[in-house]
Amino acid sequence: MHKGKGMKFVGDSRISSERKPNIPKDYSEYPGRTEAFWPNFLLKEWLVGAVFLVGFLCLTLAHPAPLEGVADPTNATYVPLPDWYFLFLYELLKYEFASGPWILFGIIILPGLAFGGLLLAPFLDPGPGRRPNQRPIAVAMMVLGLASTMLLTYESAAHVNWEARAEANKPVPATEINKENPGYAVYEQNCMSCHGESLEGSAAAPSLIGIDHTKEEIMKIAQEGYKTMPAGVFKGTKEELAALAEFIINVNEKAK
């Protein structure tokens, strides 16, 4: 007897010992265009997907997302806006029937009906036809949904002054703080607890970068307070006060 006769040598359990030719099954009894899902259809899908992926990558590299400044919890005038793809929902909440006492209708029922309606898709126009005119209910619902989404998005976007908004909320460039400056020690002692380690502000007080005060005004504010800032937070000598104000002016000059 020959060695190995009647045995099957398969080193890899994923490889079937019987070779099957890679020919798709015959789908000709099914209506419409037919092809094997694996690998023919998936290969096409992946190719198209890859083209879009690379396209989006190039687009995002060419046009980076326009970021606003860091969120500032003390800024009460900031109007938050969702990203463009949620603007239509945001706009919906401005209508009387979807806000105030009707808010639940606006935030749960109406969007719930719209998105829940997607579940009905397989049951609408269940005939075998795939042309739009053979599926009037599904097509009508889609057109209605698409049209209202586009209209609401347009309504919302048209009422925003995008240039002014971008200008008002543009990012503040990180400012170099010279912590060796003698004024910084005074700042650390008297102001840091509210205005932050790098003058960036905190929940208790606004940023001191980008302010519009003279040295004298800052010295006065440090002693006498300013609007909601209490008086008498500064404790120290006249020289220290001057060094402090100079330091703050200096940082602001650099930030310009």
Contact residues toward ligand HEC (CB under 6 A) are 190-191, 193-195, 204-206, 208, 211, 213, 218, 221-222, 226-230, 233-234, 244
Nearer CB in complex with ligand HEC: 81/233 = 233
Cβ closer to ligand HEC: 36 or 242? Answer: 242
C-beta separation of 240 from 246 below 8 A: no
Question: Given the complex with ligand HEC, which of 139 and 249 has the nearer CB atom?
Answer: 249
Closer residue to ligand HEC, CB minimum distance, 110 or 244: 244
Smallest separation (angstroms) from ligand HEC to the CB of 230: 6
Distance between CA atoms of 124 and 202, rounded to whole angstroms?
55
Residue 70 falls in which region: left (phi positive, over 0), alpha (psi -120 to 50) or beta:
beta
Which amino acid is it at 132?
P
Quote the least distance from Cβ 161 to ligand HEC, whole Å: 23
Rounded to a whole number of angstroms, the minimum distance from the CB of residue 216 to ligand HEC is 11
Q: Minimum Å distance from CB 75 to ligand HEC?
A: 11
**Pick 107 or 192: Cβ nearer ligand HEC:** 192
Q: Which is nearer to ligand HEC, 92 or 218 (CB)?
A: 218
The distance of closest approach from Cβ of residue 56 to ligand HEC in the complex, given in angstroms and rounded to an integer, is: 41
Smallest gap from residue 160 Cβ to ligand HEC (A):
26
Provide, rounded to whole angstroms, the least separation between the CB of residue 206 and ligand HEC. Answer: 5
Question: Of the two residues 141 and 192, which places its CB atom closer to ligand HEC in the complex?
Answer: 192
End-to-end CA distance of the chain: 93
CA distance 110 to 251: 51
Q: CA separation (Å) from 146 to 91, 142, 251?
A: 15, 6, 51
Which tokens go with 83? 């990203």
**Which residues 6+ apart lie within 8 Å of 180 measured at CB?**
none
Closest Cα partner for 201 from 74, 80, 76?
Answer: 74
Question: Six-digit token pair at 10?
Answer: 């398969």
Q: Is the dihedral of CA 157, 160, 161, 163 positive or negative?
A: negative
CA distance 65 to 173: 17
